[in-house]
Amino acid sequence: MNRVLVREIPQYIGNEVLLKGWVHQLRRLGKINFLLLRDRSGIVQTVILDPTIDLSKIDQESVVAIWGIPKKEAQAPGGIEVEVKRIELIEQAQSPLPFEVNRPLELLNIKLDTILDHRAFALRHPKINAIFKIEAELVHAFREFLRKEDFLEIHTSKIISQGTEGGTNLFPIQYFETQAYLAQSPQFYKQMMVGAGYERVFEVGFVYRAEDHATSRHINEYLSLDFEMGFIDSEKDIIDLEIRLLRYIFESIKKNCANELKLYEVDLPTIEFIPQIQFKEAREILKKYYRKELLTSDDLDPEAERLLCDYAQKEFNSEFIFVTNYPISARPFYTMPYDETYSRGFDLLYRGMEVTTGSQRIHNYQLLVNNMAKFGLNPQDFEFYLEIFRYGMPPHGGLAIGAERLTQQILGLKNIREASLFPRDRYRLVP
């Protein structure tokens, strides 16, 4: 007999099915017992009326096979339940469990640390499980949209000899007899692939930041959603594409993850218009509406990001806001200047947090080399990157989206670690 998934049960009303899964909950009332069975597709109530069926070894979270007949039953959750004919214990779960996974998370109030210490087990909780279905859909939609836009998916090395910005935040690794580093960004390689003639490329991959921070929005290994495209007129082309990309991602999640969104009581907005303000305007807005002076003259602090999103919400009814034309001093050397002071670099803020950084890049070889010198970098160390710029580089630009951050903000998670299966931070290397 072939296994039937929980979500397929409605097709089998009146016919015996074989179900396999985990015992989500067992409610023993005496002569009638209810067993909630969970598989990858959902949870179904089964009812045990036959007193000869032995439930003594059937503990919560045990793996079982159940033969039974699906029936319409008004009293059952969802209107359908399976009357059990036979139950077989496949693998018993030890007791006690690390914590409960069959009650609302809000009632359990489990510490994040406990969840992460028991990560695989914790994912059995439907609400925790849902996070990674959303994230998978997000990444899938990112790929699907860009492929439709004629982008090529690339996979570049995460083992590098030089950092993008000079080498401060890099994790050193021993690479045979030489020193190497874990990549903090696919930046150089994706630009090189534009120059290689692919024009439009994207990459989904982990990147590594050896920053000694401990906050709810930083992890040391995160999934970077990158794209880079050639023959643009300005960074506005990148921004326009990102708006369409986000619209596509949000619509995909809404369409394919309705149940998961419901668990978090999230109602994703339809993205129509995203306001764009220049950095210097942002500074004025902060001063005028919030009486806030930026402590650093060339970047936004977290409070400023929250305030600007508040402004976007009130003025434009948007949860997103682009901050454009950041000061040159706040941006890496490859960022295209806008004028003497400002660059063609931008950030996207979403619900108070930075989720994207992008820019038009410098495509002129001489300008790029001169800029490296200004930033105190030695062009000879970056010859591998610079070469293609000598042989005809089109105007280009791109951006990177932090996948965990976007997921965190979509679901309103308190800590980015919740959106990473196996987060790596200053103190966590296991599991």
Partner RNA sequence: GGGCUCGUGGUGUAGCCUGGUCUAACACGUCGCCCUGUCACGGCGAAGAUCGCCAGUUCAAAUCUGGUCGAGCCCGCCA
Please give the residues from 72 up to 91 whose contact with RNA meets the rule CB under 7 A. Answer: 73, 75-77, 81
Strands 221-230 and 345-350: unpaired
How is 57-101 classified by DSSP, letter by letter? T--TT-EEEEEEEEEE-TTSGGGEEEEEEEEEEEEPPPSS-SS-S
Query: In the complex with RNA, which residue's Cβ is closer, 113 or 315?
Result: 113
* Number of Cβ atoms within 10 Å of the Cβ of 161: 13
Query: Taking CB under 7 A as the rule, does residue 111 contact RNA?
Result: yes
Of 230 and 358, CB closest to RNA: 358
What's the min distance (Å) between Cβ of 197 and RNA? Answer: 26
The residue type at 201: V
Q: Which of 3, 7, 28, 147 binds RNA (CB under 7 A)?
A: 28
Applying CB under 7 A, does 30 fall inside the site for RNA? yes
Cα–Cα distance for residue pair 185/164, rounded to 1 Å: 7
Question: β-strands 42-48, 221-230: how paired?
Answer: unpaired
In contact, 94 and 62? CB cutoff 8 Å? no
Nearest residue (CB) to RNA, 199 versus 221: 221
Query: In the window 135-194, what residues touch RNA (CB under 7 A)?
Result: 169, 185
SS3 259: helix
Size of the site for RNA (CB under 7 A): 76
Q: How far apart are CA 311 and CA 278, in angstroms?
A: 14
Q: Choose, by CB under 7 A, the member of 3, 13, 32, 293 that binds RNA.
A: 32
Among 29-37, 140-148, 244-252, 374-382, the segment contacting RNA (CB under 7 A): 29-37
Nearer to RNA by Cβ, of 2 and 56: the residue is 56
**Residues 248 to 287: which contact RNA by CB under 7 A?**
none
Q: By rule CB under 7 A, what string of x and - marks binding of each residue 370-409 to RNA?
A: ------------------------------xxx-xx----
CB of 377 to RNA, least distance (A): 15
Q: How far is the CB of 236 from RNA (least distance, A)?
A: 18
Minimum gap (Å) between residue 247 Cβ and RNA? 18
Stretch of residues binding RNA (CB under 7 A), selected from 1-9, 41-49, 126-134, 335-343: 41-49
Binding mask 285-304 for RNA (x = CB under 7 A): ----------xx--x-xxx-
Decide if residue 110 touches RNA (CB under 7 A): yes
Residue pair 58/35 in contact (Cβ under 8 Å)? The answer is yes
Residue 16 binding RNA, by CB under 7 A: no
Taking the complex as a whole, the smallest distance from the CB of residue 34 to RNA amounts, in Å, to 3
Span from 2-10, 150-158, 263-271, 423-431 in contact with RNA (CB under 7 A): 423-431
Beta-bridge partners for 383? none
38 vs 218, which CB is nearer to RNA?
218
Please check whether residue 87 is in contact with residue 53, taking contact to mean a CB–CB distance below 8 angstroms. Answer: yes
Binding status of residue 125 toward RNA by CB under 7 A: no
Which tokens sit at 61? 């979270």
Exposed/middle/buried for residue 431 (C-beta within 10 Å: 0-12, 13-18, 19+): exposed
Question: Would strands 152-153 and 200-208 be described as parallel, antiparallel, or unpaired?
Answer: parallel
Q: Which is nearer to RNA, 3 or 287 (CB)?
A: 287
- The reply on whether position 99 binds RNA by CB under 7 A is yes
Q: Which is nearer to RNA, 145 or 326 (CB)?
A: 326
Query: Buried b vs exposed e over 288-302: b needs ≥16 C-beta within 10 Å?
Result: eeeebebeeeeebee
Contacts of RNA in 324-363 (CB under 7 A): 330, 347, 354-357
Task: Please tell me the distance from the alpha carbon of residue 334 to that of residue 343, in angstroms, as a whole number.
Answer: 10
Nearer to RNA, 134 or 355 (CB): 355
Q: Phi first, then psi: what are they for 192, rounded to 5°? A: -60, -35
CB of 406 to RNA, least distance (A): 8
User: What is d(CA 337, CA 235) in angstroms, rounded to the nearest whole number?
Assistant: 11
Which x/- pattern over 45-64 shows residues binding RNA (rule: CB under 7 A)? x-x-x------x--xx----
Task: Give the count of alpha carbons within 13 A of 54, CB side only.
Answer: 4
| DSSP assignment string, 150-172 | T-EE----SEESS-SSSSSSPPE
| One-letter identity of residue 278 | Q
Q: Given the DSSP bridges, would you call strands 172-175 and 152-153 parallel, antiparallel or unpaired?
A: unpaired
Shortest distance, CB of residue 219 to RNA, whole angstroms?
A: 5
Q: Does 98 bind RNA (CB under 7 A)?
A: yes
Considering only residues 190 to 229 of the shown chain, the ones binding RNA according to CB under 7 A are: 209, 211-220, 222, 224
CB of 373 to RNA, least distance (A): 19
What is d(CA 201, CA 179) in angstroms, rounded to the nearest whole number? 29
